Amino acid sequence: MTVRVLDTNVLLDRPIEEIIQSFPPCKIILPLAVIHELDNFKGLEDQRGLYARSAIRFLDGLRPKLHQGVRLKTGHYFKVEVNHTDVQLPEILSKNMINNRILTVSKGIMEEEPLKLITQDIYTRLIADILGIPAENYIAESVELGNLYSGWCEVQISDREVQNFYQLNSFYTDYPLLANQYVKMVDQTGGAHYGRYNAGNKNIVSLCREQQAFGIGPAEENIEQHFLIDALLNPDIQLVSILGPAGTGKTLLALAAGLHQVINKGLYSKLVVSRALIPHGQDIGALPGDKEEKLSPWMGAIFDNLEFLLSNFAVNKYDRKSSPAEQVGKFMEEGYIELEAFAYIRGRSIPGQWVIIDEAQNLTKENVKTIITRAGKGTKIVITGDIQQIDNCRLTATNNGFVTLIEAFKGQQLYAHITLNRTERSSLAALGVELL
């Protein structure tokens, strides 16, 4: 049985219980240096600090036999290694460095039984290879992008099915479709018809007649946006995810549908917009001011879309004197719109609200779980993301929480997903998506 030696960076990637269960039953060893390094991270207020504290509490629950080894309920054997301090490394590798102390323990154990050093640090893997220590990267569960659920498909239908569809607004089908999967139906003459699969009745139903939200509708001949508007305005669909590159209308349509149902229809008490505050490029550091002032630089794209949507909105003729920015400020003051940093979502219960989580490609699986479990009765959550623009250095296009959610929720009756592919922002934006 191969022993796994875990580096500190692995324990900072996700909850330790989940890390352990990602391996088959085996012996898992933590060098003492790893616990020392965890102590340095436990005071951080970010995700690494959270996982460091979680790991320390887990280890505390295994006392007092950590140094001897503990058999876990999962079948894993878990031990903190304090031996092998006398193993010699090349002189250039100082034993005062945490990485080298982990390598020392690994080399010592390797002389006794088969071993793999699990680390996300490239330098450590390089040195391990030079020293003859088997090492591999820790890769979280990933999604095969080529098979990622798009939310819709194309099927061939008969003339009778076309007739039933328009006479009854639906027709029974035995096509292998998922709940709330959208369908482009092509008849025998090549004509196209659009619907959504109702898994409860096993029929394809027509899209909602209402295709406008706060003055915004789908772009001409953009069937994906037609599908999206239907999902956003359907009260039975409580969770909608929208994947697409820049300029496809993800955030604009989500905001338009939210404003329409909060302000025009009163179906939700407020529109809450949140995103992870992860800088693109160099961090701008701590910002002065209250919460709204601190959030403003991060929410620039949200403000731009809100101002565009509110530029033609007026409760009465006197509101025409207000600029779009003033309209946004007025709605925020009155409590219709709330901008929130993702960090403040944890611990909240959110009933009866329309919640948009923007830039979700930068979230982990645990982050997404936190969001979904905050939803109270009557809340709708819309999650948008672009896996071509990941700023979180610990995530990739295949293992972020956004694509994990798409794969996990597809087929659920309260969920719908749409992948947008056509950039509508401008011809220049579309060319940038295509060429860069």
Give 100's contacts (C-beta < 8 A, 6+ positions apart).
Answer: 89, 93, 94, 127
Task: Place 282 in a pLDDT band, splitting at 50, 70 and 90.
Answer: very low
Sheet (strand 192-198) strand order: 152-156, 182-186, 192-198, 203-206, 170-172
- pLDDT at residue 312, rounded to an integer: 67
> If you count them, how many residues does the chain have?
436
- Which residue do the tokens 């719908």 mark? 416
Q: Which one of 2.160.20.60, 3.40.50.300, 3.20.20.70, 1.10.3720.10 gives the CATH number of domain 224-435? A: 3.40.50.300
Rounded mean pLDDT of 177-202? 94
Adjacent-strand bridge partners of 118: 6, 136
Rounded mean pLDDT of 96-106? 91
More confident residue, 140 or 278: 140
User: By C-alpha distance, which of 53, 102, 96, 54 is closest to 80?
Assistant: 102
Q: Break the chain into its structural domains and give their ranges.
A: 3-136, 224-435
* Distance, CA of 260 to chain centre: 25
- pLDDT at residue 329, rounded to an integer: 84
CATH superfamily of 3-136: 5'-nuclease (3.40.50.1010)
Q: Which tens digits make up the pLDDT trace of 287-316?
A: 455 555 545 555 667 888 888 888 866 555
Three-state DSSP class for residue 58: helix
Q: Which tens digits make up the pLDDT trace of 364-398?
A: 888 898 889 989 999 999 999 999 888 877 788 88
Domain 3-136 matches domain 224-435 at the CATH topology level:
yes
Is omega for the bond preceding 64 within 30 degrees of 0, making it cis? yes
